[in-house]
Chains A and B, each alone.
Chain A
């Protein structure tokens, strides 16, 4: 870890240092809490950061794969609290952690109680897909007090002006959603996408991670020169759901 830096600032430094980071996403508690823990431990050994999704009953930005993994996790009793306990039991992990959650479970837990616990568990950044910048003042300031960055998401339909605002406000990294739509589709990797990533990179203060629909090595190769890393979510959840080895899959993405 970079000397003297913690939380979001350290994550930013580490993402800029690597060639192209591949950040794996896991749904917390899926397919079971213990196999989630195993996957987290294994993936964190070879990744700069791992993103952990907190399952929610109404995941409006997610496609079928993550809806289903969330439903299964919730049905077996997974909560924000039980996921944090599972992470704390593994600490210290070798990678930084990014937590992705819809707002309501965070609100129900209470920001003031939650954020110090996240910081203690090694969480460097928070992604809240239903919390646009204008609504994020309260959570953003509590998170900042504990060194945790609140990540802003941008999309291909974000205007230049708004890209500038979001790119300056984002902390930890800027999440460049590569396609309109929910998670789990298949992003293109043509010139429209790479041009878009170049625009995001130009406007963003922190490093840029591209996500939504990244599922093969060809895409990673095409996107890599235009961002600081990619997030692999639904494709990895599908690998876990079918009982295959996540490390083999991730290694394949680097081919």
Chain B
């Protein structure tokens, strides 16, 4: 078996990717997670359920999303650039792929209500939309800091009928929102469905979210073959929790493609000034899984910083920790300023305003082409930038 094969074979038994992953949760959640795992395994193999999912993805989400040849940007950066346009998916980001899939699961499981956490608000909006579509009651936990910096998304959630619960505890960002969602879930584990938005958390979420996001890489692969007549030399995605990155990478693991994840370098490499978890962190347990974390020597989780709320998280999905350790993917970081300049360049060259999160992936592409001029690169453009207008205005852009 090739080492790619080895990387692929894990994640099926007890939720481990090498040593990473697992299910570190209060006993009260164990039955709910087991039930979710059993149901998900059954339904993700069930033709009837898959047809239903496929129908929602094509007629409601708008899949397949486009693959755009960014030729003017390619001329500027010195290579062939292809953008996988998750910004064109319904609600404006890849988050909807996972949200609609899990909402369908929740409905099948007879959940009375759905809860979710959100950072940038994209997962919150996607969950609110999916729940409205399926007639499910929806509550979204969001840190008060994020509510302020991503106000348009809060309004969207309200309009879609979701209840947005502000979280003031902890650092009042994504990490605190996950803590609060977990506290809600332990209160009502039997009737509530926790619709986790990234490839993090206890088993089965990292596996389940990857399965639902892999549509990104599957489509991009055939679209590259069809449109470019070849696979890319490198595939690049931003990594916060890492759901769009694992969705892009997973179907490409067996191909001779360099896989590059770009974390948030924030303003500096010092603890507290970035969210470069794999680059600067150490392994530990947070939010139910063993993975890289930004923590101090006493095991206390540290505050993070990124201009992009969606990457502002001190953990990372366990499968990314394993891909980093095996060397199958490599992880670098982009600073706030680098991401902002890449956002400007894409907007002016191609008429696409990317999310601040996705702009980190563009920095990776710019760097890759500087080192490998003339090569072909596939960029996961995970979301659109409309939600970031206020931040950009505040930064004088």
Q: A and B, one complex?
A: yes
The CA-CA distance from A105 to B287 in the complex, in Å, is 14
Contact with B along A117-132 (1 / 0, CB 8 A): 0000000000001111
11 A-B residue pairings within 8 Å (CB atoms):
A60-B26, A81-B298, A103-B285, A104-B295, A107-B285, A109-B299, A130-B26, A153-B26, A155-B28, A159-B31, A177-B28
Query: Chain B interface (Cβ within 8 Å of chain A)?
Result: 14, 22-28, 30-31, 169-170, 175, 179, 182-183, 186-190, 284-288, 293, 295, 297-302
Q: A57-B170, A157-B189 are in contact. Are A104 and B284 (CB under 8 A)?
A: yes
Among A58, A131, A159, contact of B175 (Cβ-Cβ < 8 Å): A58
A108, B297: Cβ atoms under 8 Å? yes
Q: Which of A131-159 contact B (CB under 8 A)?
A: 131-135, 152-155, 157-159
Residue of B186, B286, B300 near A182 (CB, 8 A) is B186
- Judged by a CB distance under 8 angstroms, whether A168 is at the interface is no
> How far apart are A118's CB and chain B's nearest CB, in angstroms?
15
Q: Top 6 A-B pairs ranked by shortest CB distance?
A: A108-B299, A105-B299, A181-B187, A155-B28, A104-B299, A57-B300
How far, in whole Å, are A115 and B22 apart by their CA atoms in the complex?
A: 23
Q: Does A60 contact B287, Cβ atoms closer than 8 Å?
A: yes
Cα distance, A155 to B31, chains bound together (Å): 11
The distance in angstroms between the C-alpha atoms of A49 and B26, with both chains bound, is: 23
Evaluate contact between A135 and B31: CB separation under 8 angstroms. Answer: no
CB distance from B303 to the nearest CB of A (A): 9
Q: Which of these, A58, A80, A130, A177, contacts B25 with CB under 8 Å?
A: A130
Shortest CB distance B280–A (Å):
16
Q: Which residues of B contact A166 (CB under 8 A)?
A: 27
Cα distance A74–B302 when bound, in Å? 12
Which of B14, B24, B284 contacts A108, CB < 8 Å?
B284
Q: Would you call B23 and A107 a contact (CB within 8 A)?
A: no
Chain A interface size, under 10 / 10 to 19 / 20 to 34 / 35 or more: 35 or more
A84 to chain B, nearest CB (A): 12
Residue A93 CB within 8 A of the other chain: no
Tell me if A46 counts as interface (CB < 8 A to partner B): no
Chain B hits for A61, CB < 8 A: 26, 183, 186
In the assembled complex, the CB of B103 is this many whole angstroms from the nearest CB of chain A, namely: 23
**A57–B27 contact, CB under 8 A?**
no
Verify if A221 is at the interface (C-beta below 8 Å from B): no
The winner among A58, A64, A106, A132 for most chain B CB atoms within 10 A is A58
B295–A108 CB distance below 8 A: yes
**Judging by beta carbons under 8 Å apart, are A135 and B23 in contact?**
yes
> Least Cβ distance of A137 to chain B in Å?
11
A180-B300 in contact (CB<8A):
no
Contacts of B30 in A (CB 8 A): 132, 134, 162
Whether B285 contacts A104 by the Cβ 8 Å rule is yes
A67-B169, A108-B284 known; A162-B299 Cβ under 8 A:
no
Q: Which residue of B lies closest to A103 (CB)?
A: B285
**Cβ contact of B28, chosen from A64, A103, A106, A180, cutoff 8 A:** A180
CB nearest to A80 among chain B residues = B298
Contact: A130 with B299, CB < 8 Å?
Answer: no
A30 contacts the other chain (Cβ, under 8 Å)? no
Q: Within the complex, which residue of B27, B179, B287 is in contact with A152, where a contact is CB–CB below 8 Å?
A: B27
Please state if A158 and B27 are interface contacts (CB–CB under 8 Å).
yes
Indicate whether A58 sits within 8 Å of B27 (C-beta atoms), given known contacts A107-B285, A180-B187: no
Taken together as a complex, chains A and B put the C-alpha atoms of A75 and B78 apart, in Å, by 50
Q: Given A80-B298, A180-B187, list of 6 further CB < 8 A pairs?
A: A60-B26, A67-B169, A108-B297, A108-B299, A132-B23, A133-B27
Cβ of A164 within 8 Å of any chain B Cβ, yes or no, is: no
Which B residues lie within 8 Å of A109 (CB)?
298-299
